Amino acid sequence: MITVSKEDYLKAILEAESEGETVISATLAHWLSVSPPAVTMALRRLKRDGLVRVLARGEVRLTAAGRKIAHKLTLRHHLIERMLSEVFGMEWYKIHDEAERLEHAVSPDFEAKLLAKLGRGGACPHGNLSEMESPASRLRRGLVLLSEAEAGKRYRVSGIYERDRQLLEFLEARGIRPGAELGVTERNYDKTLSIRTAAGNLVLGRLAAEKIWVSRLPSRPL
C-alpha cells in the first residue's frame, strides 16, 4: 500500500533531482522538514517495498516503480495547480501549498476529469512544466537563471521555484512573477542585481535570483 507519507518521500526525491541536487538522507530531512531518524525509517520502508535504492555512498535513487509513482503524483499536483489558477483564479503565490494539501485526496476519476478539461502540457501558475525539468533541460530551452543574467539586458520571467511561499510573496510584491518583464540594470560587487520591474527599481540578492528562470527579450533601452 502506498501511503501519503511514502508518496511525499518519492515526490521529494524526484523534485530534488530536478533541482540538480544529489539526494541523500540530509536532503530529504531538509526538503520535508522531518528529523534524520524519521528519514532513515522511511527509506527503510521504501527500500523494502522496492521503491528506492540506497547506494553505498548514501545516495538515494528511485527505482522504476518509485519513479512511476512520483511522476504520477507530480502530474496530479500540476493539474490541481492549474485548476486552482485557471478555474478558480487563486493567486499564483498561494497555489503550491494548497495543491500540496489536495493532491493526495484526488481520485483517479477526478484526475481524469481534470486532464480532459485542462489538457496535457501547459505550464503551472509558477511557469513550470508538468514534467520535472533539470537545470540542463531548462538551459537547452534557452532559459537562464536570473542570477546569471547580463546587465543592460531585458528578460521575461519563465519559471520560479515554487516550494517557498515566503519567496513567492516577496517576489510578487516586487513585480516579479511568471510572464513579467524585467531589466537587469547592474550586476553589483556583492553579487546582488539591480533590477527594474513594473513595480519599480529594486536590488535582488543572489539567493532569490538563483530561484528564477528567465528568457532573453529583444534589446531596447532599459
More confident residue, 220 or 92: 92
Record the pTM: 0.88
Q: Is 178 left (phi over 0), alpha (psi -120 to 50) or beta?
A: beta
**Please, where are the H alpha helices in the chain?**
4-18, 25-32, 36-48, 64-82, 92-102, 108-118, 135-140, 165-173, 206-209
Quick check: 16 pLDDT over 70? yes
How many CB atoms are closer than 10 A to CB 64? 8
d(CA 128, CA 78): 9
Q: Is 212 helix (H, G, I), strand (E, B) or coil?
A: strand
Please indicate, yes or no, whether residues 55 and 75 belong to a single structural domain of this protein. no
Please indicate, yes or no, whether residues 148 and 212 belong to a single structural domain of this protein. yes
Q: How many domains, in total, are found in the chain?
A: 3
d(CA 62, CA 51): 6
At which of 23, 42, 62 does a domain end?
62
102-157 pLDDT per residue, tens = 998 889 999 999 999 998 878 999 998 877 778 888 999 999 999 999 999 999 99
Please indicate, yes or no, whether residues 17 and 36 belong to a single structural domain of this protein. yes
Please indicate, yes or no, whether residues 104 and 55 belong to a single structural domain of this protein. no
Q: Which run of H or of E encompasses 155?
A: strand 153-160
Q: Is 153 part of a structural domain of the chain?
A: yes
Q: Is 17 part of a structural domain of the chain?
A: yes
Range of the domain at 17: 4-62
Q: Is 42 part of a structural domain of the chain?
A: yes
Q: Is 222 part of a structural domain of the chain?
A: no
Please indicate, yes or no, whether residues 54 and 72 belong to a single structural domain of this protein. no
Q: Is 221 part of a structural domain of the chain?
A: no
The percent of residues above 70 in pLDDT, for the chain, comes to 98
Q: Is 124 part of a structural domain of the chain?
A: no
Q: Is 126 part of a structural domain of the chain?
A: no
Distances (CA, A) of 10 to 25, 129, 171, 179, 217: 13, 19, 29, 30, 37
Please indicate, yes or no, whether residues 173 and 106 belong to a single structural domain of this protein. no
What dihedral do alpha carbons 132, 136, 140, 145 form, nearest 10°? 90
Q: Is 75 part of a structural domain of the chain?
A: yes
Please indicate, yes or no, whether residues 148 and 206 belong to a single structural domain of this protein. yes
Residues 109-115: contacts with CB within 8 Å, 24+ apart?
111/76, 111/79, 114/79, 114/80, 114/82, 114/83, 115/79
